[in-house]
Structure 1
């Protein structure tokens, strides 16, 4: 039996904070998480003791989890969650936090993510990322996502006629957006010719198709609208949210994500359609995944995303603003915090706090997440739709 989920009325998202990303860091994940949390609390004029809920996402927090982190940070929440879902972490954490607030299990929940990036962090992460990868990928001489996404990208190009120029349009537009984001790692303009001439990584993927691992932290707070109003805080409303895991397991190669399973529920819950979205934040570890999301979320039919973006401007001032902070491809991928980058930016946008990356008149944003590339596919997917509540 299919039941229509109850809506998220009365939930407010406030105090979006980013600890500026760095390529490498000798600090621990704990430091990055604590810095982001402190920044968000300061924005809201709150003290740590005001929090009674906490959800944490990190790849490099080991051997600690959210439980151990409460002792490090001196917190005593009555509601606690740990969401180790990579690029889907933000949307999943938000759904759980929103339900906790609606149920009265917590009044103010901090959703925080952070990761460090020491010289050997990425290799260490890959060496024990998943049992599937250890058993099925590493014995053949490679680890990490580049080879997997090369196969996916090649198949997508063959099936749907996308070209490297199409992927380049995404990367070039996001770099232009990143140049307006003071916290972005990438600070040099990128042209389409430079994208096409970049050194190959795993055919057909080249240098600018790959995210840059870095260190960083992201945080936002979830509370009731009445609480946000009482504290005079600008806030975003949560209009709709879905998540799905291990969808379409029968597909021989992943050319669609779990978003497709629940997309009608999402739009029905939000009371709007793709034409009503002012800006889109997709998870973008590789540009092919951004194209898949544009299709699966209903902005165009399957296989037509390449043609769709050829006639649109994806920059902040364009007619289809996409990954306005620069996304992970240009702002950087701070581990699990990279899964938060789009949601934190979307909160800024609809509350009028985005500064140099602000989309004029932005009132409604869609954020999609994609995570846990387990051997041959991403297992976790989520979508949230936010709208203007009270602006700064």
Structure 2
């Protein structure tokens, strides 16, 4: 069976690009990815585009601007996991022999909504009861503080780390340091979460080029091998749900490590779904970075930053970089590509060889999440 490699990547700075169309956001990222891969638009054999709010035929509207046509194109809506799902579909296209060169795009424009929480499906019974995403994570945070005997300062330290990492990232929406005191003093959103503990809304686009092993060798290109690509949906239950034990992320991580043949102890960096501060703490445990019950210790001892066990969210994560929903899974892959090929600049993780990306999608009644995608990567041999 062939292997799949990323050989090119591109991204635009995350932010509020109110005057841009979806193609206006994505085309610069696509052109950068193609150029860094050393290929032309005519070489692309398949396109997968993740988004949540782009409307019909988003991929086609984007790639027609760079001269790509006729090839298969798939548009993916999987909530926040849309971009990562597109990456999984692109990987599968190559593994199953349908293409040798795949362009994967992630894009979304949240400024079109004018602010506030993301619109969810009105027919969902939990949404009807007010279960918007800040409320869900506020409940998780309250449970964490109760069960783990932690204080709100522990939650705030996640934001402090994210801003410190994001300061070195020219693509991040927020690039200034903050303090625990400032985080806790910011406007309340969903107790105990404050404004600086919630990812910002904004716009963004990212793209990567995937190729088969044979195609990479023909080009003589450096790259990053996709060692595992796992996509799961949530399992609905009408009973008790442990908000600190998201089964979907535990199961996805387990399957990814098994597929790749290496585990969390072998990772140098990870980009995980920190849409709210509590999420990062919960996912430390779900992804196997530390034992259950020790997320607060793992954070406060410096094990999730430079000089620790692994660097979690060197980009600044969703909290600092921003979270344009369908873009985020591909943006995570771009960040990993830059680190594993030594192109991450001031935020470069030293001697990075292996990495993980993780993104969940959606709030839906009776589920931890509607989707979860975990990818594992290693520098191509």
Scaled by the length of structure 2, the TM-score of the pair is 0.91
Aligned with residue 228 of structure 1, among 208, 216, 228: 216
Alignment of 1:108-123 (within 5 A): 108-118=101-111, 120-122=113-115
Partner of 1:381: 372
Cα distance between partner residues in 1 of 2:17 and 2:191: 27
Q: Could you say which residue in structure 2 is the equivalent of 1:303?
A: 293
The equivalent of 2:135 in structure 1 is 147
Q: Please tell me whether the aligned partners of residues 235 and 347 of structure 1 are also in contact (alpha carbons under 8 angstroms).
A: yes
Alignment of 1:37-76 (within 5 A): 37-66=30-59, 69=62, 74-76=67-69
Unaligned runs of 5+ in 2: none
SS at 1:342's partner residue?
helix
Q: For the residues of structure 1 that align with 2:116 and 2:160, how far apart are their CA atoms?
A: 28
In 1: Cα distance, 2:380 partner to 2:82 partner: 23
The 1:298–1:97 alpha-carbon spacing in structure 2 relative to 1, beyond 3 Å, is same
From 266, 277, 289, the counterpart of 1:287? 277
Q: Confirm whether residue 174 of structure 1 aligns to residue 162 of structure 2.
A: yes
Provide closer, same or farther for how the CA distance between residues 162 and 226 of structure 1 changes in structure 2, counting only shifts above 3 A.
farther
Q: Distance in 1 between matches of 2:363 and 2:338?
A: 28
Residue 240 to residue 63, structure 1, CA distance change in 2 (3 Å): closer
Residues in 2 aligned to 1:46 and 1:236: alpha-carbon distance in whole angstroms: 16
2:352 aligned with 1:362: yes
| Residues 124 and 207 (structure 1), Cα distance of their counterparts in 2 relative to 1, 3 Å cut | closer
Matched with 2:250 is 260
Runs of 4+ in 1 over 6 A off after TM superposition: none
CA contact (8 A) 1:317 1:359 kept: no
Confirm or deny: 8 A CA contact 1:243 1:259 kept in the other structure: no
Alignment of 1:1-392 (within 5 A): 10-66=3-59, 69=62, 74-118=67-111, 120-122=113-115, 126=119, 129-133=120-124, 135-138=125-128, 142=130, 144-247=132-235, 249=237, 250-252=239-241, 254-257=243-246, 258-374=248-364, 377-389=368-380
Give the whole-Å Cα distance in 2 for the aligned partners of 1:283 and 1:248.
21
- Aligned equivalents of 1:307 and 1:117: distance in 2? 35
CA contact (8 A) 1:14 1:221 kept: yes
CA RMSD of aligned residues (A): 2.4
Distance between the aligned counterparts of 1:248 and 1:293, measured in 2? 20
Tell me the distance in 1 between the aligned counterparts of 2:112 and 2:90: 34
Q: CA distance change for structure 1 residues 88 and 119 in 2, over 3 Å: closer, same or farther?
A: closer
What's the offset of the Cα at 1:131? 4.0
Separation in 2, partners of 1:356, 1:385: 23
Cα distance 1:264–1:58, how it changes in 2: closer, same or farther (>3 A)?
closer
* Normalised TM-score (structure 1): 0.88
Q: Number of aligned pairs?
A: 378
Q: Secondary structure at the match of 1:87?
A: coil
- Give the distance between the partners of 2:91 and 2:262, measured in 1 at CA: 20
